[in-house]
């Protein structure tokens, strides 16, 4: 069998139904094999788009997302999604064409050392040197991408090797890799210790991150939180892991989190971190982070434990396996529920005193926060929302209540502007029966707006709600607050006429600039068949608050 066909067989054996990508010289044999492979190929318009589509697909479904690119520039265009996928632990497999083996190292046409370039940002990578290894590498790639802490795996396939004739035997058993054995179960003694510490805590906080979503452990997280009256907060990656709103829900924490959540961390005596990694956007000034707290840290990646914040009770394992044991041990402790009453009095005070709020306009101007409220209303809180990166992302994280996991898809770690539209396309392909809305920024959307063509070409009815404020809004906010208002290259100037741009791609374009019409416009967009871009003109210079200024402590939030 031709190696490229064996590659497809291996992908099918892994259950792959969709691939996102762009053909080119070095992956011609692979694309020839796509023809007969009974796999739906979504032709993106830029490899970065293909990569983010694979991510959106993976984040929405929990299945491994797959993207193809050719050698050289095709492969280098994948670098951003690969880096994005390592930061947010997205199970993805990237298969790149490489120049012929006799050209490797000669600076051949469209040659780039993609293996070397991506080495710092992959979970693992394979360079095919013997075509007979291709099926093995594909299976190993899926195994590595989807187990342990998920992440991106690259398989680089030289053009001539993908044309080789090899014997293909379907492989059924899980690949064994000498140096790769994630431990998932969690040390029971440590879990016991953690349960006891929690039973003795009077000011506990459960701090959950994207790892809970990745582990499909939201139900287990809920069980733990409800095993007592534990206050719970999530990172921007974890939103939806605990259903919001809820009487135990403090809101998101971190740089643009609620005061209640950040003050809770600041005053806690025990923080239980689950699938979260104490990112600088969470901790603020590290030396002043949660100074009164002891830490239980549950994570599948041992290297995350005590990386930024030393853990008192480290537990290495899969949240899905650890949390039920934790709950069982905790219940056995028969802790006194009323011990948390005084803590809740304080939390309620903060919630009452510092709710998320904004001043609505007196005229018809659309405040960005109001746009999110309208979005929540129009979607009835029941949509997959993907986001670009910036103010709109933070406002959406603050004001859109996510009841379920895999409903909020954004680029948290790398903060990749342009992530929203392609990831929406990927999410819609994965979940065709769900409403998929991309909340976009005008700075972000233009970075990947060519993927509107993909949505049209493949009839993928995503709805793009563009929060258009004419600025790189978050950067403008920082320049205003921390750089004395010396605005430097943050104004978008004569931005595209977005509805016209949409129409040029064959997408229905709409515009709204009246706050009394925004929800109706959104409903119209949602009811319209096919992809729609709704250009929402919002207040130009609104700031996203509250915020922990960079390098400041959580208790010093402003706004």
Partner 1 sequence: MEAGTPDLIKLEDLDAAAGALTGRKHLLSLLVENRPGVLARIAGLFSRRGFNIDTLAVGPTEDPEISRITLTLDGAVHPIDQVTKQLHKLVNVIKIRDMEPGETIAREMALFKVSAPIESRAEIMQFAEIFRAKIVDVSRRSLTIEVTGSADKVEAFERMIRPHGLIEMVRTGEVAIARSKPDA
The site for partner 1 (CB under 8 A) is made up of 115-116, 119-120, 123-124, 127, 129, 144, 177-180, 189, 192-193, 195-197, 199-201, 269-270, 294-295, 301-303, 305-307, 310-314, 328-329, 332-334
CA atoms of 321 and 76, how far apart (whole Å): 38
Closer to partner 1 by CB, 6 or 296: give it.
296
| Alpha carbons 54 and 517: distance in angstroms, whole number | 34
CB of 397 to partner 1, least distance (A): 29
Residue 120 or 485: which CB sits closer to partner 1?
120
Q: How far is the CB of 178 from partner 1 (least distance, A)?
A: 5
3-state secondary structure of 349: helix
Question: Which is closer to partner 1, CB of 321 or CB of 517?
Answer: 321
> Residue 521 Cβ, how far from partner 1 at the closest point, in Å?
46
CA angle 318, 320, 323 (to 5 degrees): 95
CB nearer partner 1, residue 269 or residue 280 = 269
* 329 CB-near residues (< 8 Å, 6+ apart): 191, 192, 194, 195, 196
Starting at the edge strand that comes first in sequence, how are the strands of the sheet with 408-409 ordered?
408-409, 384-387, 436-441, 463-468, 532-537, 508-512
Radius of gyration of the chain (CA): 24
For partner 1, the closer of residues 63 and 312 by Cβ is 312
Nearer to partner 1, 195 or 445 (CB): 195
Sheet holding 18-21, edge to edge: 40-43, 18-21, 65-69, 92-98, 152-158, 124-127
d(CA 115, CA 61): 28
Q: Please check whether residue 135 is in contact with residue 6, taking contact to mean a CB–CB distance below 8 angstroms.
A: yes
Q: Which is nearer to partner 1, 17 or 196 (CB)?
A: 196
CA distances from 160 to 5, 21, 30, 75, 114 (A): 13, 20, 11, 17, 17
Q: In terms of CB distance, is 303 or 520 closer to partner 1? A: 303
Closest C-alpha among 157, 163, 154, 159 to residue 109: 159
Q: Which residues share a beta bridge with 66?
A: 93
Closest approach of partner 1 to the CB of residue 332, in Å: 4
- Rounded to 5°, the CA angle 472-477-479 comes to 95
Locus of tokens 């996991």? 405
What is the length of the chain? Answer: 559
Torsion of CA 127, 132, 136, 138, to 10 degrees: 60
| Geometric angle at alpha carbon 124, from 216 and 275, rounded to 5° | 30
CB of 281 to partner 1, least distance (A): 19
Q: Nearer to partner 1 by C-beta: 290 or 532? A: 290
Torsion of CA 96, 97, 98, 101, to 10 degrees: 130
What's the closest the beta carbon of residue 541 comes to partner 1, in angstroms? 38
Inter-residue contact 24 to 110 (CB < 8 Å) = yes
CB of 142 to partner 1, least distance (A): 13
> Whose Cβ is closer to partner 1: residue 295's or residue 358's?
295
Tell me the closest approach of the beta carbon of residue 202 to partner 1, in angstroms: 9
Least distance in angstroms from the C-beta of 350 to partner 1: 22
- Record the tokens describing residue 347, joined without a space: 């939390």
Residue with tokens 């939103």: 239
Give me the least distance between CB of 145 and partner 1, in Å please.
Answer: 11
For the record, the structure tokens of 143 come out as: 């195994």
Which of 119, 558 has the CB closer to partner 1?
119
Closest approach, Cβ 347 to partner 1, in A, equals: 19
For residues 149 and 515, which CB has a smaller minimum distance to partner 1 in the complex? 149
How many whole angstroms from its chain centre is CA 316?
22
Residue 374 in tokens: 């309208």
Instruction: Give me the half-sphere count of Cα atoms (radius 13 Å) on the Cβ side of residue 423.
Output: 34
User: Which candidate, 467, 477, 546, places its Cα nearest to that of 251?
Assistant: 546
Is 116 or 559 the residue whose CB approaches partner 1 more closely?
116
- Shortest distance, position 144 Cβ to partner 1, whole Å: 6
What is the smallest separation between the CB atom of 128 and partner 1, expressed in angstroms? 12
> Do 220 and 330 meet the contact criterion of CB atoms below 8 Å apart?
no
* Residue 108 CB-density burial (10 A; 0-12 exposed, 13-18 middle, 19+ buried): middle
CB of 194 to partner 1, least distance (A): 9
Which residue is listed with tokens 């790149």?
Answer: 96
Q: For residues 298 and 538, which CB has a smaller minimum distance to partner 1 in the complex?
A: 298
Say how far apart CA 274 and CA 298 lie, in whole Å: 5
């Amino acid at each position: 069998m031709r190696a490229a066909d064996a590659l497809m067989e291996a992908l099918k054996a892994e259950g792959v139904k969709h691939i996102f990508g762009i053909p080119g010289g070095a992956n011609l044999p692979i694309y020839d094999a796509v023809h007969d492979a009974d796999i739906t190929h979504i032709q993106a318009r830029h490899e970065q788009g293909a990569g983010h589509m694979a991510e959106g697909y993976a984040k929405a479904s929990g299945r491994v997302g797959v993207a193809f690119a050719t050698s050289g520039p095709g492969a280098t265009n994948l670098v951003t999604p690969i880096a994005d996928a390592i930061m947010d632990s997205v199970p993805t497999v990237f298969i790149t064409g490489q120049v012929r083996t006799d050209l490797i190292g000669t600076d051949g046409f469209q040659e780039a050392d993609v293996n070397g370039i991506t080495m710092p940002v992959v979970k693992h990578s394979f360079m095919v040197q013997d075509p007979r290894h291709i099926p093995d590498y594909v299976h190993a790639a899926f195994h590595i991408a989807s187990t342990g802490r998920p992440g991106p795996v690259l398989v680089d396939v030289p053009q001539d090797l993908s044309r080789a004739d090899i014997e293909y035997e379907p492989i059924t058993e899980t690949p064994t890799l000498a140096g790769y054995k994630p431990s998932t179960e969690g040390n029971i003694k440590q879990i016991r210790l953690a349960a006891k510490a929690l039973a003795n805590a009077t000011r506990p906080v459960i701090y959950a991150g994207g790892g809970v979503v990745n582990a499909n452990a939201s139900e287990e997280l809920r069980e733990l939180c409800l095993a007592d009256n534990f206050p719970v907060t999530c990172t921007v990656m974890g939103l939806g892991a605990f259903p919001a709103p809820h009487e135990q829900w403090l809101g998101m924490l971190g740089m643009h989190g609620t005061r209640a959540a950040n003050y809770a961390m600041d005053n806690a005596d025990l923080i239980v971190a689950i699938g979260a990694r104490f990112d600088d956007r969470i901790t603020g000034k590290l030396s002043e982070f949660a100074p009164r707290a002891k830490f239980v840290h549950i994570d599948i990646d041992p290297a995350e434990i005590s990386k930024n914040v030393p853990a008192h009770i480290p537990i290495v394992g899969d949240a899905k396996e650890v949390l039920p044991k934790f709950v069982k041990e905790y219940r056995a402790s028969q802790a006194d529920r009323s011990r948390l009453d005084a803590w809740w009095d304080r939390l309620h005070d903060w919630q009452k005193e510092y709710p998320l709020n904004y001043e609505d306009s007196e005229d018809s101007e659309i405040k960005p926060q109001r746009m999110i409220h309208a979005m929540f209303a129009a979607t009835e809180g029941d949509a997959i929302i993907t986001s670009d990166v910036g103010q709109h992302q933070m406002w959406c994280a603050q004001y859109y209540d996510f009841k379920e996991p895999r409903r909020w898809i954004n680029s948290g770690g790398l903060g990749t502007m342009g992530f929203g539209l392609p990831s929406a396309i990927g999410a819609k392909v994965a979940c065709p029966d769900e409403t998929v809305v991309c909340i976009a920024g005008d700075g972000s959307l233009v970075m990947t707006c060519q993927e509107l063509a993909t949505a049209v070409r493949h009839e993928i009815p995503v709805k793009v709600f563009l929060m258009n404020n004419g600025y790189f809004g978050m950067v403008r906010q920082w320049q205003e607050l921390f750089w004395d208002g010396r605005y430097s290259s943050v104004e978008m100037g004569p931005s595209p006429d977005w509805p016209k741009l949409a129409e040029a791609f064959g997408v229905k374009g709409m515009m709204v600039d009246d706050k009394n019409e925004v929800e109706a416009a959104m409903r119209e967009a949602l009811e319209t068949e096919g992809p729609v871009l709704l250009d929402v003109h919002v207040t130009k210079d609104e700031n996203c608050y509250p915020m922990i200024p960079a390098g400041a402590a959580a208790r010093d939030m402003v706004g």
